[in-house]
Structure 1
């Protein structure tokens, strides 16, 4: 009987035979290299990314240094950074863009740093880290998507002269990884996520064990530039721990208003010495600004302040949800605009005038 597992094994053996035929000098690979090839073939990721990583290991991607060896160009300078020759190791592991991407994704390099010359050592380290227990895992399981998107970003820059930010590369990678693991009924919950896909639910969902959830609301009066911000922090049982309302002035856009709301919420979590928090917001403008910050240079300093505050939390996620899952926080924010409640505060528990909604959401989970 045909089975997908048998097909995968057969395909791997076929790939090994082709590799040996094309590389006579490497017909007898050391056991550790053979094991890495097998591990890459079994890696939990998209098939196209697995094939990409196998090509990376064999040096078969068209970086400038490899093209020059085939007399297809003379300039080997990395266009991404302009600081060194574009080799496979440089582009994916030691280029400042790759280093920054790993930093944002919370993927620590080996103790001595990634090798500038050996893709084998670099991939061996990353694959080995994916086998660690979840407590030690961090975002390592997202590394295939990060390398893939670094390669795609490089190609967009070379062929379309379109440059994307390191932050955008990582957030896109994390989001794609989470979607893949959810669809394949696997577990990959990176400790630091931005703009994850929303779970399929039309009401507030309790956080996992050991985590708190902070819902963030935002409202903006375009005539007066007034921003209304509200957040509500709840535990796993849906019991409100703290809530806040704050007014800001002189905002020129809805996107700026939503970023200020997020800034206030994260700043509050840090000041309250909370370390493990899930944040939820229903702003499309906020999601766009975080996924593509280079599109909004006027908001660069605001986004950088938010990211700096995020770095002070141990474990966090920022999830985009539909409005029905964010009703209480949004109502607090809207009250600043509609009822001119401009007094800012942080208080224990939830707002009394929304107690019925808070209770009904807690009972629904």
Structure 2
């Protein structure tokens, strides 16, 4: 007995897979929207902008991470934008076998640095909630406990022509954080890099750009 696989079957499989991905992204959008509404009930709106653009001629790479100690996984997300707030690239990745929050923080930042190098970016400001790791990169003698992490991150960033490091709080880093959160909170483990912003965060990024 012989088996044959037609092109039609392969096309049907691709359509089915795309439908599943679209459904996942739709549920992400609903979850994020619900979270924003809940936050708005607790935190009064503030007139100032939350995301601060890079200086002219530079790009801002916001990096976010989340950690689930029960499942031992971390979620990572980065968003690369120019001064007008336009998103050039964004990425998501799932990390398995992560034991601590510090390990999650390090692995995600190292991945983001590797990504900037592999995409041959120049004049990049790396921004996120990484005060200890950024300190270890810039002043290793002052952060002996993070000597290994600082050395590894510095090695990757050495492949980026002109970079700066900027510690920002969660409110200035929400886009990248939401992407990372989709891994740990919603189980979206597929890793990818794509041009522009995520379709399910369209409204969020548009609104941030309007505040510039």
TM-score, L = length of structure 1: 0.42
Q: In angstroms, what is the RMSD of aligned CA positions?
A: 1.8
Cα separation, 1, equivalents of 2:68 and 2:163: 30
Contact 1:216–1:329 (CA under 8 A) maintained in structure 2 = yes
**Are residues 1:364 and 2:186 paired?**
no
1:280 aligns with 127
TM-aligned CA deviation for residue 286 of structure 1: 3.9
Matched, 1:294 2:144: yes
Deviation of 1:284 after TM superposition, in Å, equals 4.8
Greater C-alpha radius of gyration: 1
CA contact (8 A) 2:132 2:143 kept: no
Q: Which residue in the other structure is 2:76 paired with?
A: 229
| Aligned pairs (5 A) from 1:20-169 | none
Q: Aligned residue pairs: how many?
A: 162
Q: CA contact under 8 A between 1:209 and 1:236: conserved in structure 2?
A: yes
Query: Structure 1 residues 286 and 245 mapped into 2: Cα distance closer, same or farther (>3 Å)?
Result: same
* Structure with a larger share of its residues in strand: 2
**Shift >6 Å, 4+ stretches:** none
Give yes or no for the alignment of 1:329 onto 2:179: no
Q: Tell me how far 1:303 sits from its aligned partner.
A: 3.1
For the Cα contact (< 8 Å) 1:255–1:289, is it kept in 2? no
Matches of 1:310 and 1:284, distance apart in 2:
16
Question: 1:146-173: CA deviations, max 9, x gaps?
Answer: xxxxxxxxxxxxxxxxxxxxxxxxxxxx
Instruction: Report the alpha carbon displacement of residue 335 of structure 1 after superposing the two structures with TM.
Output: 0.8
Point out which structure has higher relative CO (alpha carbons under 8 A, 6+ apart).
Answer: 2
The alpha-carbon distance between structure 1 residues 351 and 256, as it changes in their structure 2 partners (threshold 3 A), is: same
The Cα shift of 1:228 comes to 0.2
1:284 & 1:334 partners in 2: Cα distance? Answer: 20
Matched residue, 2:28: none
Name which of 150, 167, 173 aligns with 1:303.
150
- Which residue matches 1:350? 197
For residue 112 of structure 2, what is the aligned residue in structure 1?
265
8 Å Cα contact 1:203-1:325 kept in structure 2: yes
SS in 2 for 1:319: strand
Instruction: Note closer, same or farther for the CA distance 1:353–1:285 as it changes in structure 2 (3 Å cut).
Output: farther
Cα distance in structure 2, aligned partners of 1:202 and 1:239: 15
Taking the aligned partners of 2:188 and 2:160, their CA distance within structure 1 comes to 30
Structure 1 unaligned segments of length 5 or more: list them.
Answer: 1-200
TM-score by length of 2: 0.71
Q: C-alpha displacement at 1:202, in angstroms?
A: 5.6
- Look up the match of 1:214: 61
Question: Deviations along 1:88-139, whole A, 9 cap, x unmatched?
Answer: xxxxxxxxxxxxxxxxxxxxxxxxxxxxxxxxxxxxxxxxxxxxxxxxxxxx
1:307 to 1:320, Cα distance in 2 relative to 1, 3 A? same
- Are 1:247 and 2:105 counterparts? no
Deviation of 1:331 after TM superposition, in Å, equals 0.4
The CA distance in 2 between the partners of 1:310 and 1:246, in whole Å, is 19
> Over residues 299-336 of structure 1, what are the superposed CA-to-partner deviations in whole Å (9 max), with x where a residue is unaligned?
x1x43221111111221111111111000000000110
C-alpha offsets along residues 27-61 of structure 1, whole Å, 9 cap, x if unaligned? xxxxxxxxxxxxxxxxxxxxxxxxxxxxxxxxxxx
8 Å Cα contact 1:255-1:286 kept in structure 2: no
CA contact (8 A) 1:254 1:285 kept: no
Question: Counterparts in 2 of 1:164-179, with a 5 A limit?
Answer: none
